[in-house]
Amino acid sequence: MKVFVVNCGSSSIKYQLFSMTNEVVLAKGIVERVGGGGNGNGNGRGRLMHTAGSSHIGLDVDAPNHTAAMRIILDTLTDPKVGILKSVDEIEGVGHRVVHGGEEAEKSTRIDETILDAIRRNAQLAPLHNPPNLAGIEAAMAAIPNVPHVAVFDTAFLSTLPPRAHRYAVPAEWYSKYRVRKYGFHGTSHRYVTLRAADLLGKPADSVNLITCHLGNGCSMTAIANGRAVDHSMGMTPLEGLIMGTRSGDLDPAVVLYMISQGFSHQDVDKALNKHSGLEGVSGLSNDMRDLLEYREKGEKSAELAVEMFVYRLVKYVGAYYAVLPNVDAVVLTGGIGENSLPVRKMFCQQLASLGATPDEDRNLSTVGGKAGPITANGSRLPIWVIPTNEELMIARDTRRIVAQGG
Ligand code: AMP
């Protein structure tokens, strides 16, 4: 069965085509600068990057909207020179990443009018993500009309958070009337690494207890009890919790009111907290962990502080989740930083010595480039593992399952 996975952002469409017989990626790529934001070449056109086996294509394309971008992708997949598909009819299911499913989305679901309505309704809670997700779904459903399309919600795996974890201690009406609560994000990644961790630890998926950390540009942590999410660091929006590339994570909500009283507009504060805070805000140098580690090596104090704060916040959250879980089989690191950043992982392991982590430098050095494995020593009371995430494969698996069940 061939499954096409779509992850649609406001100005890009990422895609992967899977053969689900052996879970192999046949082709993958991205169309960037959808909507004519310019492609860095100053010509206002979009850019397609496509890989199939050993062939790579990079082309300037006309992608004024998501429908046009989708057409370009499907034309590329069926281009006789690339030779991946003879026709789009070979695709038996399409899986879509959808960021916000609200309270109704507890699992991946075949898309129909009701689901489209729910995605539209929840756009208010994820204004940057749900509208482009919807545009991608509509473009793909028009181009590949006769197969099931499946929505895989980022929020779904986190729908098991109990009220004590997902409610904020604010007037109850804010929840009942305005749906103010913690929803959480990155759920597909946390679900994937939970299943992989259970497998690698030799435990049934419904009895594994973990603290999973997705550390990329966006960062989040989930407490998992018996395979289910019971607490999570992101909130009603992806701003809460850990320190991220450009997002502040936790702060006193009164800071927002204070900055507004100082003459900042609501939009200024929103932009500052989402786009100019976090690693970038503290360092004033970069939002990228690789750059910051280099600056730190050169003795830049602000980079050193940003990295120190990043790790401190992580360790603090692990402590909190350790306290609320019945026991912890492992802490799992994933995402660009979790999978690759040796110095961050080293500091993290060292600082968790109080909870029983015994760092193993050789294991840390050898678990990079997509490899899964422990980075603590054999017998470490708190094992810490690196497990590369694969959200697209999770989406493809859900899609295959729903297609096989007849939609
Ligand atoms: P993601 O959003 O998952 O692609 O992760 C992006 C983050 O991962 C950025 O902060 C990158 O600097 C970081 N990252 C990726 N590769 C490395 C690496 N080799 N060393 C340190 N950080 C890395």
- Note whether 254 and 359 are same-domain residues: yes
pLDDT at residue 231 tops 60: yes
**12-19 vs 24-32, strand pairing mode:** antiparallel
* Percent of the chain predicted with pLDDT > 70: 98
How far apart CA 64 and CA 61 sit, in angstroms, is 9
Choosing from 62, 154, 199, 288, the catalytic residue is 154
- Note whether 245 and 376 are same-domain residues: yes
Q: Say which CATH number the domain at 137 has.
A: 3.30.420.40
pLDDT at residue 40 tops 70: no
Whole-prediction pTM: 0.94
- Note whether 125 and 210 are same-domain residues: no
Residue 161 lies in a domain: no
End-to-end alpha-carbon separation of the chain, Å?
14
Question: Quick check: CB of 215 below 6 Å from ligand 1?
Answer: no
Active site residue 154: yes
- Note whether 210 and 131 are same-domain residues: no
Q: CA angle, corner 372, sides to 370 and 377, nearest 5?
A: 135
Band the pLDDT of 38: cuts 50, 70, 90. very low
How far apart CA 41 and CA 66 sit, in angstroms, is 20
- What would the pLDDT profile of 145-172 be if each residue is shown by its tens digit? 999 999 999 999 999 999 999 999 999 9
- Note whether 258 and 110 are same-domain residues: no
Higher pLDDT, 21 or 125: 21
Which residues, 6 or more positions from 121, have their beta carbon under 8 angstroms from its beta carbon?
102
Mean pLDDT of the 219-227 span:
98
Q: How many domains does the chain have?
A: 2
C-alpha of residue 220 to centroid of ligand 1, in Å = 14
Which residues, 6 or more positions from 69, have their beta carbon under 8 angstroms from its beta carbon?
13, 31, 34, 46, 61, 63, 139
Higher pLDDT, 359 or 121: 359
Question: Quick check: CB of 340 below 6 Å from ligand 1?
Answer: yes
- Note whether 379 and 245 are same-domain residues: yes
Mean pLDDT of the 382-406 span:
96
- Note whether 32 and 141 are same-domain residues: yes
Q: What is the mean pLDDT of the chain?
A: 94
Question: Quick check: CB of 245 below 6 Å from ligand 1?
Answer: yes
Burial of 205 (0-12, 13-18, 19+ CB in 10 A): middle
Q: What pLDDT does residue 35 have?
A: 84
C-alpha of residue 344 to centroid of ligand 1, in Å = 11
- Note whether 293 and 358 are same-domain residues: yes
* Domain assignment of residue 383, given as a range: 204-391
Q: What pLDDT does residue 127 have?
A: 81
C-alpha of residue 237 to centroid of ligand 1, in Å = 22
Q: Cα 111 to chain center, whole Å? A: 21
Question: Quick check: CB of 36 below 6 Å from ligand 1?
Answer: no
Question: Quick check: CB of 336 below 6 Å from ligand 1?
Answer: yes
Residue to mutate, 310, 340, 368, ligand 1, most ligand atoms under 8 Å from C-beta: 340
- Note whether 211 and 149 are same-domain residues: no
Q: What pLDDT does residue 71 have?
A: 95
Residue 407 lies in a domain: no
Mean pLDDT of the 236-249 span:
96
Per DSSP, the three-state class of 335 is helix
